[in-house]
Amino acid sequence: MSLPILFIFSVLLISSFPPHTAALDFCIADLTLPTGPVGYPCKNPANVTTDDFVYSGLGTAGNTSNSLFKSAVTTAFVTQFPGLNGLGLSMARGDLAPGGVIPMHTHPSAHELLIIIEGSVVAGLISSSDNQVYLKTLNKGDIMLFPKGLLHFQVNTGRVPVIEFVSFSDPDPGLQTVDNALFANSLPSEYIEKVTFLDDAQVKKLEAVFGGTG
Amino acid sequence: MSLPILFIFSVLLISSFPPHTAALDFCIADLTLPTGPVGYPCKNPANVTTDDFVYSGLGTAGNTSNSLFKSAVTTAFVTQFPGLNGLGLSMARGDLAPGGVIPMHTHPSAHELLIIIEGSVVAGLISSSDNQVYLKTLNKGDIMLFPKGLLHFQVNTGRVPVIEFVSFSDPDPGLQTVDNALFANSLPSEYIEKVTFLDDAQVKKLEAVFGGTG
Amino acid sequence: MSLPILFIFSVLLISSFPPHTAALDFCIADLTLPTGPVGYPCKNPANVTTDDFVYSGLGTAGNTSNSLFKSAVTTAFVTQFPGLNGLGLSMARGDLAPGGVIPMHTHPSAHELLIIIEGSVVAGLISSSDNQVYLKTLNKGDIMLFPKGLLHFQVNTGRVPVIEFVSFSDPDPGLQTVDNALFANSLPSEYIEKVTFLDDAQVKKLEAVFGGTG
Amino acid sequence: MSLPILFIFSVLLISSFPPHTAALDFCIADLTLPTGPVGYPCKNPANVTTDDFVYSGLGTAGNTSNSLFKSAVTTAFVTQFPGLNGLGLSMARGDLAPGGVIPMHTHPSAHELLIIIEGSVVAGLISSSDNQVYLKTLNKGDIMLFPKGLLHFQVNTGRVPVIEFVSFSDPDPGLQTVDNALFANSLPSEYIEKVTFLDDAQVKKLEAVFGGTG
Amino acid sequence: MSLPILFIFSVLLISSFPPHTAALDFCIADLTLPTGPVGYPCKNPANVTTDDFVYSGLGTAGNTSNSLFKSAVTTAFVTQFPGLNGLGLSMARGDLAPGGVIPMHTHPSAHELLIIIEGSVVAGLISSSDNQVYLKTLNKGDIMLFPKGLLHFQVNTGRVPVIEFVSFSDPDPGLQTVDNALFANSLPSEYIEKVTFLDDAQVKKLEAVFGGTG
Amino acid sequence: MSLPILFIFSVLLISSFPPHTAALDFCIADLTLPTGPVGYPCKNPANVTTDDFVYSGLGTAGNTSNSLFKSAVTTAFVTQFPGLNGLGLSMARGDLAPGGVIPMHTHPSAHELLIIIEGSVVAGLISSSDNQVYLKTLNKGDIMLFPKGLLHFQVNTGRVPVIEFVSFSDPDPGLQTVDNALFANSLPSEYIEKVTFLDDAQVKKLEAVFGGTG
């Protein structure tokens, strides 16, 4: 191999190969522009830096002490971590004080994988096909799958705080908590009762707790 | 154009063009084989008939009189209508007696479009982003969209039975009714109460109604 | 459960859970912006109202009397019903006067499910694999599937008007009618004849009917 | 770097890294099993050889002399080239004798890119949105795009045979030729005439040419 | 609300609602059947248990002491954790001894999100568009994104072992390590040298290290 | 058929059928707007012309004489051929002088199909699952598949220039050449050596060849 000649051509090489000016290796969200059905327009690649690929917001515990559920969820979704835009992945951190819960909820747009870092929880999942309950005590290092759109929950049954991380199959998985959907908005209690069979007193009590005005 | 010559070649034509023996124009489900992540293996195309593309089960009203909800849902999902396999579409028919409801529920795997054929309903939808309520009285000919995974419901507030059809963006949309998920299975009442804040008496009462054993 | 304390925390709760400011539960099209490969940018969620989820344009019969085909198709595609943007669903209403037809056509971007509400039609579908004809008389309540891109048609063979609804697996399914594609544009008749084997007189006659200038 | 030690560990290395026994780098079709909505089950990776990635059937010209269209299409679809299974790509070779045509047709499941290797053609495309005609003379090295499901055609207007290759965005793109769909099957001429406005004599004439029995 | 009547209907309720016998909430892989382009056929839902949603294999550190790279990767891909089948998610655990590395590699089928649990690493990513290097020291709680197919690596530059978890956007992400691809198989050294410009001595040396026979 | 009447209705016909003003038959990229995760916003359909579907840049051989690899790749990706936007297809032309190579590389976003038009090459592919080598001499008319993200290469072992075309399953497939990723940027040689086990002298030598500054 004739290296002296190779040296001469090394500058030419770069321009003789295709420019790839727009190869969508990634599409860092430009959050200042309107989002579309699959995400935000991309930040100009020329302005992308290493920090667009890194997020440090999950390193600190959420504050569980001022939560009704004694838990806190800290998210790294596309609006916090624009690098995830369009890529089919996101994360969150969960902190549950002893006795804390992650209330019954779904993620309309994503499957979830939970990993326990510290402590242990009872986690449950309910299938849509036949209302089957899948219930398990998870310890450090265990992972559990919650398929997209299915109701699930966790309870910290131990004496120590739980630290956990969850991964989602979408940069914006959504979160619909049953309590918030029923009792934290203007949905008329008349309709809540008709479509859930909950008693009026129960509905009114929880609307007071969650700030519902219906 | 020299037709006499064309006639001579007409038989040859068919064999000189590509055979397309497996073009996936459609994939009628072979329900006798195990399904996979996106549907069932296809029935042998040689055995496909017109009836594989047609389903007549939505022509008759469901029986609303023996339903707790005074409603009936009749489905044309892939297991009833194998032609839908893998195609991103299915349908169902809803019948609601006066006062009947479609209880609070989600479809984990599909968006839904509802069209009212007879009668009128109050339909509601709750977003995940901010628990916003979208509530509307729908009359004959109106269509309403319920995005995938979001809680929604209907109430027949009129004096006549409601007939409606719904279309889904998946051949197997799933259906998770909140009441059935909470109260119709073995989920321990202790956990239900912790993750919904419902009172013990309320939970026990509805478990009795829906057959829950937890 | 200590409700007095719960009351105190109810306001805090909302802010301690993740904000989800951009969860793509839905993406109402902003039709004033340029569309992209999978749909329009989303309307600002803060401006979304119930009416973005509802469309009433399919409640009225189309005018079949001034149609060459004695039929009318009224669409609820994304440009009429922006709520469908990016969601893989749309609808249309078909009205066919007695003797009316839906001419031979395809939808390049969507599978179709047809449901007959009133009257009856003969519907036909032709596969690409082997030009197989699937032909069926459909009555009230029957549904029929027309897979994406395949030629299909309907004929109202009854004595009463037909009302029908169709669902599509795409918010913008497209419609390519063979007659319009061949005879309603500037395609030179010389080429039409070469690539269809239709006679020159036939082509000229139908170009006159459909307004072709080629 | 301490190479002697590295040598010792080299055998261990292979087993200490993950086995990846099923990584779906590729999924060579096992054509003996039933296909599914997105393709065939995979051949056992242990039996995959280089020949599963290579296909030589496009190297020879198709026989245009016994074709009504004076053309021949040779395909490398998944049933001929099982390596394409599930991968979103396939190819074909077109040969057009002078005066030959690729008749008016669609591919229901794939976009197409055509490249001219020898000769020149007039190629045409008709949009569904407004029946717009896009017509172009293509010479050696030119490429033209035909989006999925749209009617298109080619005419060899030159004096030499045309050799061309086409790429598709699906391993089984399908092919629906208008003439074959209308005139080469059992579709009753009565319906053909109603849904195309073609004259009875024209329909009968072309049914005779293409072997139609309706 | 008339509960006594509700009690009577509670058994009927379950059968009057649709059966959903095949709703694809999840598709636990049946690893005994051949996989297809998007995953394995599903285990019979009747045999699914809670353990199908849980995996405990990531709780223990991998053995880094007999690895050339002083690191170990333990995977929870679909073949280890069949619940992930078809769902667009998987995980792995990385352990890096002080001085250990995750060698230069790609995942052909998945994006990756890395989270550091203990220790710190220098992680690097190289874009395809312009060979841009994105290099960062990651500490406990930091997450970093590695888009699909792009070369990336890690080096444990600290004095303590690193524990980390990675999430992938596919149940079977694949792993192609540059060294293994070049030097651990039968690829002839002549070709390696021609297509990488590496010197013959270097190639031979590393083939010896990695077990290459070419 | 009453043609005189048909004539009268021909103008009405066009307006009585749905307008389809936005049917996404195609979405020609507007390269002046920011791209998104699946491509650029669409050019206004009213301004689309035949030239948006045609590209002539692959008709001329690339200049192989000033390339280190004695080869040239000319691309028809979305930035050169905006008609491909969002459609899952693109092409490129490869020219290899005698002795020329396409160096070891991957396409992170696309599968590739190669067809040899003139000459012959040795082409190789390495799987991720087990570093298996698939090596083949390809002659005129042969096609070979390189699945997404897998390392592959070509060597012109003949005495004549090679002309070849490649098709990709994405409008922007990306290209990551191992040499450029390692030696043509600012990646510190210290890290290159740690994560590839290449010798320092080899790294420095190739950084000089490829312009690396690390």
Chain E interface includes A88 (CB < 8 A): yes
pLDDT score, position D116: 98
Main-chain phi, psi angles of C3, to 5 degrees: -60, -40
pLDDT score, position A9: 35
Q: Which residues sit opposite F116 in a β-bridge?
A: F164
Chain E interface includes D13 (CB < 8 A): yes
pLDDT band at A20; cut points 50, 70, 90:
very low
Chain D interface includes B16 (CB < 8 A): yes
Burial class (CB in 10 A: 0-12, 13-18, 19+), F204: middle
Stated length of chain B: 214
Instruction: Return the minimum-mean-pLDDT range out of A45-54, C80-89, E3-12.
Output: E3-12
Residues B67 and B167 in one domain: yes
Q: How confident is the model over C105-126, as a mean pLDDT?
A: 98
**Torsion angle, alpha carbons of F61, F62, F67, F71, to 10:** -60
Residue B47 belongs to a domain: no
Q: How confident is the model over B55-74, as a mean pLDDT?
A: 96
Residue B197: domain span: 175-214
Residues C85 and C168 in one domain: yes
Chain F closest-CA separation from residue E7 CA (Å): 52
Residue C159 belongs to a domain: yes
F110 neighbors F169 (Cβ within 8 angstroms):
yes
| Cβ contacts of C79 on chain F, cutoff 8 Å | 19, 21-22
End-to-end CA distance of chain C: 80
pLDDT score, position C123: 98
Q: How confident is the model over C133-146, as a mean pLDDT?
A: 98
Residue A25 belongs to a domain: no
Which parts of chain E sit beneath pLDDT 70?
1-23
pLDDT score, position C129: 73
E-strand spans in chain F? Answer: 54-55, 71-76, 90-96, 101-106, 112-118, 121-126, 133-138, 143-146, 152-155, 162-168, 176-177
Q: What angle do CA C111, C116, C122 make, to 5 degrees?
A: 80
F169 neighbors F111 (Cβ within 8 angstroms):
yes
Q: What is the spatial distance between Cα B187 and Cα E130, in angstroms, rounded to a whole number?
A: 54
Tokens 């990776």 locate to: D45
F6 pLDDT above the threshold of 50: no
**What is the model's pTM?**
0.92
pLDDT score, position B129: 73
Listed as own residue / partner, the contacts of E195-198 with beta carbons closer than 8 Å and 24 or more positions apart are E195/F101, E195/F102, E195/F103, E195/F104, E195/F124, E195/F153, E195/F154, E195/F155, E196/F103, E196/F104, E196/F178, E196/F179, E197/A1, E197/A6, E197/F68, E197/F103, E197/F179, E197/F206, E197/F209, E198/F198, E198/F202, E198/F206
A123: three-class secondary structure by DSSP: strand
Residue E15 belongs to a domain: no
pLDDT score, position D11: 32
Q: Which chains touch C (3 or more CB pairs under 8 A)?
A: A, B, D, F
pLDDT band at A2; cut points 50, 70, 90:
very low
Residues C117 and C71 in one domain: yes
- The DSSP letter of residue A34 is P
Residues C120 and C89 in one domain: yes
Residue C64 belongs to a domain: yes
pLDDT score, position F214: 87
B12 pLDDT above the threshold of 60: no
Q: Looking at chain F, which residue has its C-alpha nearest residue C172? A: F23
Residues B116 and B91 in one domain: yes
As given in the structure block, the two tokens for residue E82 are 């069949």
Contacts of B8 (CB under 8 A, 6+ apart): none
Chain F interface includes C177 (CB < 8 A): yes
Q: What angle do CA B139, B143, B146 make, to 5 degrees?
A: 120
- E to F CB pairs, distance under 8 Å: 145
Q: What is the spatial distance between Cα B126 and Cα B105, in angstroms, rounded to a whole number?
A: 11
Contact state of F21 with C79 under an 8 Å Cβ cutoff: yes
Residues A99 and A191 in one domain: no
Residues E64 and E106 in one domain: yes
pLDDT score, position D3: 34
Residues C109 and C199 in one domain: no
E173 neighbors E109 (Cβ within 8 angstroms):
yes
pLDDT score, position A129: 73
Instruction: For CA atoms E179, E185, E189, E191, give the dihedral sign.
Output: negative
Residues B125 and B184 in one domain: no
Please provide the average confidence, as pLDDT, over all residues in chain F: 90
Q: What is the spatial distance between Cα C45 and Cα C114, in angstroms, rounded to a whole number?
A: 33
Q: Which of F13, F25, F138 to mutate to test the interface with D (most CBs of D within 10 A)?
A: F25
Residues F182 and F159 in one domain: no
Give the total number of structural domains in chain E.
2
Residue C50 belongs to a domain: no
Q: How confident is the model over F155-161, as a mean pLDDT?
A: 96
Q: What is the ipTM of this complex?
A: 0.90
Q: How confident is the model over C38-61, as a mean pLDDT?
A: 96
pLDDT band at F21; cut points 50, 70, 90:
very low
**Chain F residues 22-41 with a CB less than 8 Å from chain A:** 33-38
D5 pLDDT above the threshold of 80: no
pLDDT score, position B3: 34
C10 pLDDT above the threshold of 70: no
**Of D119, D91, D125, nearest to D105 (Cα)?**
D125
pLDDT band at A105; cut points 50, 70, 90:
very high
Q: How confident is the model over D55-84, as a mean pLDDT?
A: 96
| Cβ contacts of C58 on chain B, cutoff 8 Å | 115, 141-143
Residues F100 and F192 in one domain: no
The share of chain B scoring above pLDDT 70, in percent, equals: 89
A near D: at least 3 beta-carbon pairs less than 8 Å apart: no
Residue B12 belongs to a domain: no
Q: Looking at chain D, which residue has its C-alpha nearest residue B43? A: D34
Chain F interface includes E17 (CB < 8 A): no
pLDDT score, position D214: 87
pLDDT score, position F84: 97
Please provide the average confidence, as pLDDT, over all residues in chain B: 90
C2 pLDDT above the threshold of 80: no
Instruction: Return the minimum-mean-pLDDT range out of C23-32, F108-117, F148-157.
Output: C23-32
Contacts of C190 (CB under 8 A, 6+ apart): none
Residues B62 and B146 in one domain: yes
Secondary structure element (H or E) that encloses residue A3, with its range: helix A3-16
CATH label of the domain that carries residue E157: 2.60.120.10
E31 neighbors E43 (Cβ within 8 angstroms):
no
Instruction: Return the minimum-mean-pLDDT range out of B68-72, B179-183, D9-13, E63-67.
Output: D9-13
Residue E211 belongs to a domain: yes
| Cβ contacts of A192 on chain B, cutoff 8 Å | 104
Q: Looking at chain A, which residue has its C-alpha nearest residue E138? A: A54
As given in the structure block, the two tokens for residue E59 are 């709780």
Q: Looking at chain B, which residue has its C-alpha nearest residue E171? A: B37
Q: What is the spatial distance between Cα C21 and Cα C16, in angstroms, rounded to a whole number?
A: 14
pLDDT band at F44; cut points 50, 70, 90:
very high
pLDDT score, position F204: 98
Q: What is the spatial distance between Cα C89 and Cα C85, in angstroms, rounded to a whole number?
A: 9
